[in-house]
Structure 1
C-alpha cells in the first residue's frame, strides 16, 4: 500500500503465465517486472475492473490488499490471500479450506486423496487449487509447494491439518504403525513448514503458519505414537517460531480436544464416551470451530501472537 495525494492504493499482482504482456490500469500505472505485472489502484471500482480484465485475459491473479478491498471482501482481511491447507479432504482440513475460501482467499487444498482435495475447493474456480500430496514424502511436498509458487507466486498462510491415528496398545504397536503415524503427523508437519516458510520468505510475505496438535499430547490419553507425534508438533512450533520471527513469519499451534471428524470413527465407543465425559462443556468440538480459530491466528488480529499453543477443547485440559 502506498499513499499518494492523500489517497490509499492497493496492488494487484498478476502472474503472466502465458508469455510476455502488460496489464494497464485506467491511468496507465501498470508496470511489468519479469513475468509479474503490478497494477496500483485507488478504489474498489478500479480494483474490480483490473481483476476482471486480468481474468478475461486468462491470467491467474491475487491481490495485495491495502485498506482497499474488492466488494464482498473476506473476513479478517483474507481477500485473495494465498492459503495452503494439508489434510484438506475431510474433517478439520476441509472446514478450514471452506472457511478461508468463503472469505475470499485463494485456497490450496492438499490431500493424499486427490478427489477429496478437489471436492474441498469446489465452486472457487481459479481461486481454488487441489493437489494430491503425501506429506510424509519430501519429494511430494516439494512438488506441491513448487506448484503453488508457479500458480500464485507467493504464500501467505500455511495450515498443517493432515493427521492420522491408529488404535494400538503400546506393547503391541507394530513398527510400521509407529513410523506411519510419526511420518504423517510430525515429519509431514516439519516438511510442510520448511517448504512453506521458504516460499513465504521468497515471496516476501509476512506469513502465518498454523500447526494442529492434540490435547492427547498433554494428557497422554491415546496411543503412544499419536501422543508422541502431536507433542512433537508443539515442540516444533516453539522452535521454528523463534527462528522465523525475524522474517515476520508467525508460527502457532491449535490444540483441539475431541473433534467431530471422520478420524474419530475408528475410536472404540467406550473411549469416545469417556472422552466426552471429561469435557466440561459436554460435547465434542466441531470442525468449523477449529476453522474459526485458525482464521484468527492467520489474521492481523493475531499479529503479536507466535510460538503459542491455543487449546480448543471445551475445558478438558489447560495449557
Structure 2
C-alpha cells in the first residue's frame, strides 16, 4: 500500500486574515507558509528579520512594546484586513540556572513570551468580537508542562500561556472565538541545530518516537485548530512532542 508523501492541503471555504508572530523562521515561518499555501492572507511579525517569501506581509514589531503592537495591527488591517486567526508564536530564551539568573533576564522572557502574547491577543480580540468569529492559537512548549533545568523563566512563560488561553476560551467562547495551545517538543530549528552533537542526542533519546519534529508538523496542528474542522475545540493543549510530555 502506497504511503502519502505529504500532508493533504485542504482549500479553505473562506480565505481568512492570519497573523503569525515570530513568523520569519522556524515554526513561525512554516506555519505562515502553510496558511499561505491554503489561500489565506498572511501577515507575520518579527523584530528585525523579514521572511524570504513574498506572499507574506512582514511587519516589524517587538511585542514587548504595546505601542509597537498597536502600530503593527493598524498596518496589517490597512493592508489585508482585520486579523481573524492569531498564531502567537514569538518568543525568546535567556537560559541560566536559577541562582545565576538575573532578574532582568527573567522579566524579559516573561514580558516577551507571555505578556507579549497577551498584548497580541487583546488587540486581536476587538475585531473578532465584532465579527463573532476568531481563532487564538498560542505556541507553548513541552517545557511549560514538564519544566526544564536552566529554563525557569522560559518554562514559566510557556506554562502561563495555558492559563491565559483557557481563560480566554471561557471569556470569548460565546462569541464564536476559540483559544487553544499547541505544545511542541524538540523541533529541527536553528535553535536545535546550534546544540552540539551530544546535546542533540540526549534530547532525541528522551523522545519516545526517537526523533525531533519538523516545523511543518507543528504548523499542521496549528492549521487544524484554525480550520472549520477544529471549530469545537477550545481551551485545549495539543502536544506535538513525540510523546515526550505524555501524561501532562
TM-score under structure 1 length normalisation: 0.71
Counterparts of 1:232 and 1:269, CA distance in 2: 31
Counterparts of 2:117 and 2:45, CA distance in 1: 13
Q: 1:198 to 1:170 in 2, by over 3 A?
A: same
Aligned to 1:59: none
Counterparts of 1:309 and 1:136, CA distance in 2: 24
Counterparts of 2:201 and 2:13, CA distance in 1: 38
Counterparts of 2:26 and 2:14, CA distance in 1: 23
Q: Is the counterpart of residue 162 in structure 1 residue 90 in structure 2?
A: yes
Cα pair 1:221 1:227 within 8 Å, conserved: yes
Counterparts of 2:63 and 2:198, CA distance in 1: 31
Cα pair 1:157 1:298 within 8 Å, conserved: yes
Cα pair 2:180 2:235 within 8 Å, conserved: yes
Match of 2:159 among 227, 231, 235: 231
Counterparts of 2:145 and 2:129, CA distance in 1: 32
Deviation for aligned residue 1:131: 0.2
Runs of 5+ unmatched residues, structure 2: 1-8
Q: 1:233 to 1:269 in 2, by over 3 A?
A: farther
Runs of 5+ unmatched residues, structure 1: 1-73
Cα pair 1:145 1:199 within 8 Å, conserved: no
Cα pair 2:17 2:81 within 8 Å, conserved: no
Over aligned residues, Cα RMSD in angstroms? 1.7
Aligned to 1:148: 76
Structure 1 residue ranges (4+ consecutive) displaced by more than 3 angstroms after TM superposition: 265-272
1:113-262 matches, cutoff 5 A: 113=48, 115-117=49-51, 119=52, 121-122=53-54, 124=55, 128-202=56-130, 204-222=131-149, 223-262=151-190
Larger C-alpha radius of gyration, 1 or 2?
Answer: 1
The answer to which of 270-279 and 246-255 deviates more is 270-279
Deviation for aligned residue 1:190: 0.6
Match of 1:221, SS state, is coil
Q: Output one character per residue of 1:40-83: Cα deviation in whole Å (capped at 9) or x when no partner.
A: xxxxxxxxxxxxxxxxxxxxxxxxxxxxxxxxxx7251653110
Q: Output one character per residue of 1:97-146: Cα deviation in whole Å (capped at 9) or x when no partner.
A: 11001111100011112x424x2x42x2xxx3110010111111111112
Match of 2:58, SS state, is strand
Deviation for aligned residue 1:273: 2.5
1:272-287 matches, cutoff 5 A: 272-287=200-215
Deviation for aligned residue 1:265: 4.0
Counterparts of 1:174 and 1:264, CA distance in 2: 24
Counterparts of 1:239 and 1:268, CA distance in 2: 39
Counterparts of 1:269 and 1:229, CA distance in 2: 28
Counterparts of 1:169 and 1:313, CA distance in 2: 24
Counterparts of 1:173 and 1:266, CA distance in 2: 21
Aligned residues: 238
Aligned to 1:91: 26
Counterparts of 2:175 and 2:96, CA distance in 1: 41
Match of 1:108 among 43, 48, 56: 43
Cα pair 1:135 1:141 within 8 Å, conserved: yes
